[in-house]
Amino acid sequence: MAETTHQFRAETCKLLNILTHSLYTNHEIFLRELLSNASDALEKVRFLQSAGGEIRDPALPLEISITADKDAHTLTVSDTGVGMTEQELIDNLGTIARSGSEQFLREHESGEKPGNGEEAADGEDTIVEHDDSKPDDAAQIIGRFGIGFYSVFMVAEKVEVTSVPATGDGTAHRWASDGTGSFTVSAVEGAEAEALHRGTVIKIFLRSDAHEYEEKFRLEGIIRKHSNFLPFAIQLEGERVNTTAALWREPKFSVTKEQYHEFYKFLTYDQTEPLDVIHLAVDAPVQFNCLLYVPGTKVEAFDERREEWGPDLYVRRVLIDRHNRELLPHYFAFIKGVVDTEDLPLNISRETLQENAVLRRISQTMTRQILSHLEKLATSDPEKYEAIWKLHGRYIKFGFDSYQYRDRIAPLLRYATTLDKDKLSSLDDYISRMKAGQNEIWYVAASSLEAAAVNPHLGQFRRRGLEVLLLTEPVDEFALETLAEYQKHPFKSVERAEAKDLEPFADVEGETKAAPLTEEEKPELDALIAAVKTILGDQVKDVRATTRVIDGAACLVSPDGMTSSMEKLMRVMQKSEGIPQKVLELNPDHALVRDLMRICRGDAEDPLLKDMVSSLYDSTLLLDGYMNDPLAMAERSMRLLKQTADMYSNLRK
């Protein structure tokens, strides 16, 4: 049979140039497209066999082979799939945007007799789970658009496609083109034809700038990245590359714990076993499979690699997007895994999502399933849940900004408390221990448990037996402020507590209170306040007697009522590094303040009073997380030590 020349019937040379040079952003994608095509061709053979049809060379294994010839600068991709007849070569490879797989699926769905047609391309709801133990072979076909094959011209100066159909007379034909607008088709005859078996062989004559695709390590990397989970063996230079099974496609009952862990190590390169596994196979509201892991090591999802979180997204076992951040909300950023769907619409290059309505449904379903899983775990296995919280709770806390799910996030929160700083408590645990008459859920925010322990506001709560949540991360106070309340109990910072808030609760046995100020002492307090204002000057916004419940001699408060930890966080966000000007509140019930009142009454200009007031201010700054002039602090401390030593030694004489 003579060679015939044909024009690309549907498009011009300009369109072909656009497809091969502009549509795809990454040249290595061409191999993914060819492998997807080959997988579809094999899937069609499997479907024909399962339907009882007769095919050529039935004993041939269903596999894909890749070989490279560095001397000839060629790359060959072959499969033992359904193959193509002469007319199918002309129709499918000669018309851009014609998909043989699309035609095959239409025939399958309508009940018509399917042809060979190896395509030229890329290949709170009720959750309905499906069973993958009996897959529909036709449903596994990847190709839809009839575009992917032409990506080969990104790296090829010429392409030859030799094909033997699985049915019919079995005549082999060769399609050839340099991608400039025309192609040739000819019969393969003689010894060459006799050596051919069912399937398709694509021979790529690589361009001079694409010789990297002759290297085995480069090809292996592309396969493992994009096509590692295709259901058929991929042989590269005689060695199988895709040896790891798509475990998420297996029925849950058939997967062992060891298999889950091995797949996790393969997926993440983390040798530590995961804390938990979530395996879902969902049919409605949208069909997808997913295999998710809770890592057994701390995850840094929002560091310098802030883009690298989210499960890997597959469509029919082909990788579409590594670390897809739309699949899970940011408060589940620590979760790793894979999601594979049949239904996700892509753009024609299959590199980006065409629209995300389906993706949103998948995300919503996964989010609800993860929340349900964690809720059950918190009840049935609190030790495991606590281990998860200690590693990843700082992410879960960010669920406070989810209007849809914050009511489900709140019961999952865990905090240390003043009752036992070494044991985590839920909000429900806290409420169950509240004193009679208590309405507020009290909390203190600090940089650490140690810093919280010395907070001047806590002592009165301890003495009255009122438990306080210990918040040690910046997000904690944001979370509780946004939630506002839990089970109709408002969250309230101990820094905002007033004396009347604690009046209903008696002191523990043995606690004594300072005698209230007499009428004669009240002017002395006013005089001390005036003297402190003069001594500190513009270091403070104001000085006043406190109405708060504090144990210390003084505390600093923000003029606008913001808690110290919240103000500190806001200053970091605003990149403000100076010491804020705050209000200094003195505690008239504290012995040190009473002593300062007496010193001030004797001489408001006494240098000792100035040093003591300045030291008191420095101490409150330190408790607030700020450091004043350290040299001045050291010098002042030495003077006070000397004066104290002199007084004490004189008393001992």
Q: Residue 577's closest CA among 542, 626, 620?
A: 626
Sign of CA dihedral 232, 236, 239, 241: negative
Q: Are 555 and 582 in contact (CB under 8 A)?
A: no
Does the pLDDT at position 360 exceed 60? yes
Query: From residue 23, how far is each of 31, 318, 349, 359 by CA, in Å?
Result: 15, 18, 6, 23
Q: Are 479 and 413 in contact (CB under 8 A)?
A: yes
Q: Are 121 and 23 in contact (CB under 8 A)?
A: no
Q: Would you tell me how many other CB atoms lie within 10 Å of the CB of residue 3?
A: 10
pLDDT of residue 117: 41
CA distance 68 to 76: 6
Question: Is residue 175 domain-shared with residue 69, that is, in the same domain?
Answer: yes
Question: Is residue 34 domain-shared with residue 82, that is, in the same domain?
Answer: yes
- The reported pTM is 0.77
CA distance 125 to 146: 35
Q: Are 118 and 100 in contact (CB under 8 A)?
A: yes
Q: Are 211 and 30 in contact (CB under 8 A)?
A: no
The per-residue pLDDT for range 174-232, each reduced to its tens digit, is 999 988 878 999 999 999 999 999 999 999 999 999 999 999 999 999 999 999 999 99
Question: Is residue 226 domain-shared with residue 358, that is, in the same domain?
Answer: no
Which residues sit opposite 291 in a β-bridge?
Answer: 279, 338
Look up residue 352 and give its two tokens: 């980006």
CA distance 487 to 289: 36
Question: Is residue 161 domain-shared with residue 280, that is, in the same domain?
Answer: no
**Banded pLDDT at 355 (limits 50, 70, 90):** low
Q: Given 488, 513, 538, which residue is the final one in a domain?
A: 513
Instruction: Write the CATH number for 620.
Output: 1.20.120.790
CA distance 53 to 362: 37
Q: Are 567 and 536 in contact (CB under 8 A)?
A: no
Count the domains in the chain. 4
Cβ-proximal residues to 268 (8 Å cutoff; 6+ apart), any chain: 293, 295, 336
Average pLDDT, the chain: 84
Phi, psi of 248 (to 5 degrees): -65, -20
Q: Residue 336's closest CA among 384, 401, 395, 291?
A: 291
Domain annotation covers residue 211: yes
Question: Is residue 228 domain-shared with residue 282, that is, in the same domain?
Answer: no
pLDDT of residue 9: 57
Instruction: Write the CATH number for 458.
Output: 3.40.50.11260
Q: Are 173 and 163 in contact (CB under 8 A)?
A: yes
Domain annotation covers residue 484: yes
By CB atoms closer than 10 A (0-12, 13-18, 19+), residue 104 is: buried
Q: For residue 275, what is the DSSP state?
A: S
Query: CA dihedral defined by 424, 427, 428, 434, rounded to 10 degrees?
Result: 100
Question: Is residue 145 domain-shared with residue 37, that is, in the same domain?
Answer: yes
Average pLDDT over residues 62-89: 96
Domain annotation covers residue 319: yes
Domain annotation covers residue 190: yes
Instruction: Write the CATH number for 80.
Output: 3.30.565.10
Question: Is residue 251 domain-shared with residue 234, that is, in the same domain?
Answer: no
Question: Is residue 75 domain-shared with residue 191, that is, in the same domain?
Answer: yes
Average pLDDT over residues 377-382: 96
More confident residue, 462 or 561: 462
As a whole number of Å, the end-to-end CA separation of the chain is 127
Domain annotation covers residue 570: no
pLDDT of residue 497: 86
Q: Given 332, 363, 383, which residue is the final one in a domain?
A: 383
Question: Is residue 291 domain-shared with residue 341, that is, in the same domain?
Answer: yes
**Banded pLDDT at 547 (limits 50, 70, 90):** confident
Question: Is residue 29 domain-shared with residue 123, that is, in the same domain?
Answer: yes
**Banded pLDDT at 135 (limits 50, 70, 90):** very low
User: What residues make up the domain containing 619?
Assistant: 521-546+580-652
Does the pLDDT at position 24 exceed 70? no
Question: Is residue 270 domain-shared with residue 157, that is, in the same domain?
Answer: no
Domain annotation covers residue 453: yes
**Banded pLDDT at 116 (limits 50, 70, 90):** very low
Instruction: Write the CATH number for 258.
Output: 3.30.230.80
Domain annotation covers residue 555: no
Question: Is residue 61 domain-shared with residue 12, that is, in the same domain?
Answer: yes
Q: Residue 30's closest CA among 147, 170, 195, 117?
A: 147
Q: Degrees (nearest 5) of the Cα angle 598, 599, 601?
A: 65
Pair type for strands 312-315 and 63-69? unpaired
**Banded pLDDT at 99 (limits 50, 70, 90):** very low
Q: Are 280 and 303 in contact (CB under 8 A)?
A: no
Q: Are 117 and 165 in contact (CB under 8 A)?
A: no
- Which stretch of DSSP H or E encloses residue 443? strand 441-445
Report the amino acid identity of residue 85.
Answer: T
Domain annotation covers residue 396: no
Lowest-confidence segment of 34-38, 290-294, 301-305, 363-367 by average pLDDT = 301-305
Q: Are 331 and 374 in contact (CB under 8 A)?
A: no
CA distance 599 to 224: 79
Cβ-proximal residues to 258 (8 Å cutoff; 6+ apart), any chain: none
